[in-house]
Chains A and B, each alone.
Chain A
Amino acid sequence: MIATCPECAAEISLPADTLESEIISCPECGAELEVISLTPPTLALAPEVEEDWGE
């Protein structure tokens, strides 16, 4: 299964046993991605911890 990273547009090969809601990392940009669908394979950015210096 091939999915596209929503952050950097890299094509990511998903293992055959990937599950919906699984969290993976993009090998190109390191973004943590949630598998939101397997039909077709679709990824979304997972929630992240924001840095907050001096705000």
Chain B
Amino acid sequence: MTRVSIVGASGYVGGELLRLLLWHPEVTVVQATSGRNAGRYLYQVHPNLRGRTSLQFVHPDKLEPCDLLFLALPHGEAARAMQRYTGLAERIIDCSADFRLSDPAAYKRWYGEDHPAPEWLGRFVYGLPEVSREALRGAKYASGVGCNATASNLALLPLVRAGLIDTSKPVLIEVKVGSSEGGASSTDSSHHPERAGAVRSFAPVGHRHTAEIEQVTGLSTPHLSITSVELVRGALATAHAFAVRPIADKDLWQAYRGFAKEQPFVRLVKERQGIYRYPEPKILAGSNFADLGFALDPESGRIVSICAIDNLMKGAAGSAVQCMNLMLGFEETLGLEFPGLHPV
């Protein structure tokens, strides 16, 4: 069995990693760290794990060597301590934004400071298997992915790869997101009377995940807006692009089908009848699937591409475990087959 530990295991991504890894048939979770919760049982922070493990959180200073480390730390902390972590484990998957961007200049532009460890940037593979599958096989270091970036990238990639987007025109992406994207710490704005029922434009422009969309799609003009809605889990990206030439629905079917057939966790949802005719994040809660759909306005050539994910799964912990499977030579889908709930 492969021995894995999770650093920063008390947050929502850490909790999802624990849920997935404690049931993974090829790994053993040996340590889960939390400075604030050291000594407490995992279930006292993640109640869904009650009765399934006797592990207790350990202080980060007590971290011991293992085969693979998952880092689920606040922004900047992983980069500042890479020497320590690489001395403890041969392989690392960092779920933060620290190693997602390969270009230090892009990091400075979007994060407002020089990268703390630029020499490590080129050593991390971008952790979205739908983009980096072959590079992840056997890799030692993988980054995490941004949840909004992932929903946006998966919405756009079928069109980008098929060369269907008119890159002289803007590409607009609106992402509707659940409250768990805000993390496990509360703020005044997350107080229930303020948050409940709100449809909150919290990043109409300038969201940092724009950098990941530029890097993955190669598009120079993605315009990203984020709106938080009445969901706990889930992200729904609705991307608007214009076709580079006159196309029909069948051309789009071909492009999306060609992309999805290579991806074990990508499904096409475009139904003419039924309740869920387009991707719906609600029924993906707890699942690693990304559902893609599309529509074409033949008059204007506008393509609307839609992607639904669970932000904590395909947008974070699920993709990280998928990366681990590739890095360690396991079946890519191992431990990730849960299809979600309906009704929920």
- CB within 8 Å of B: which residues of A? 7-10, 28-32, 45, 48-49, 51
Question: Is B273 within 8 A of A9, CB to CB?
Answer: no
- CB of B271 within 8 Å of the partner chain: yes
B112, CB-defined interface residue at 8 Å: no
Cβ–Cβ contact B253 & A8, under 8 A: yes
B257 touches A28 (CB 8 A): yes
What residues make up the interface of B, taking CB atoms closer than 8 Å to A? 249-250, 253-254, 257, 268, 270-274, 277
CA distance A45 to B273 in the complex (A): 12
Partner of B249, one of A8, A30, A49: A8
For B277, what are the chain A residues with a Cβ–Cβ distance below 8 Å? 51
Contacts of A10 in B (CB 8 A): 253, 257
Shortest Cβ distance from B15 into chain A, in angstroms? 35
**How far, in whole Å, are A48 and B270 apart by their CA atoms in the complex?**
14
Q: Name 24 A/B residue pairs within 8 A (Cβ), A-sorted.
A: A7-B249, A7-B253, A7-B272, A8-B250, A8-B257, A8-B270, A9-B250, A9-B253, A10-B257, A28-B253, A28-B268, A29-B253, A29-B268, A29-B272, A30-B271, A30-B272, A30-B273, A30-B274, A31-B273, A32-B272, A32-B273, A48-B272, A48-B273, A49-B273
- Whole-angstrom distance between the alpha carbons of A51 and B278 in the complex? 13
In the bound complex, how far is the Cα of B277 from the Cα of A48, in angstroms? 13
**Residues of chain B with a CB closer than 8 A to A28's CB:** 253, 257, 268
Residues of A within 8 A of B270 (CB): 8, 29-30
Cα distance, A29 to B254, chains bound together (Å) = 12
Q: Which residues of B contact A7 (CB under 8 A)?
A: 249, 253, 272
15 new A-B contacts at CB < 8 Å, known A28-B253, A30-B270: A7-B249, A8-B249, A8-B250, A8-B257, A8-B270, A9-B253, A9-B254, A29-B268, A30-B272, A30-B274, A31-B272, A31-B273, A45-B272, A48-B272, A48-B273
What residues on B are CB-neighbors of A45 within 8 Å?
272
Interface pairs A-B: 4 shortest CB-CB = A8-B253, A9-B250, A30-B271, A31-B272
Chain B: minimal CB distance from A44 (Å): 13
* CA distance in complex: A25, B271 (Å): 11
Measured CA separation A32–B273 after assembly (Å): 8
Chain B residues, Cβ within 8 Å of A48: 272-273
Residues of A within 8 A of B253 (CB): 7-10, 28-29
A29 to B274, CA, bound (A): 12
Chain A residue nearest to B271 in the complex (CB): A30
Q: In the complex, A42→B294 CA distance in Å?
A: 25
- Cβ-closest chain B residue relative to A29: B270
CA distance A39 to B254 in the complex (A): 26
A29 neighbours in B (Cβ, 8 Å): 253, 268, 270-272
- A51 contacts which chain B residues (CB < 8 A)? 277
Docked CA distance A7–B253 (Å): 9
What separation, in Å, do the CA atoms of A28 and B272 have in the docked complex?
A: 12
Most buried by A among B249, B257, B273, B274: B273
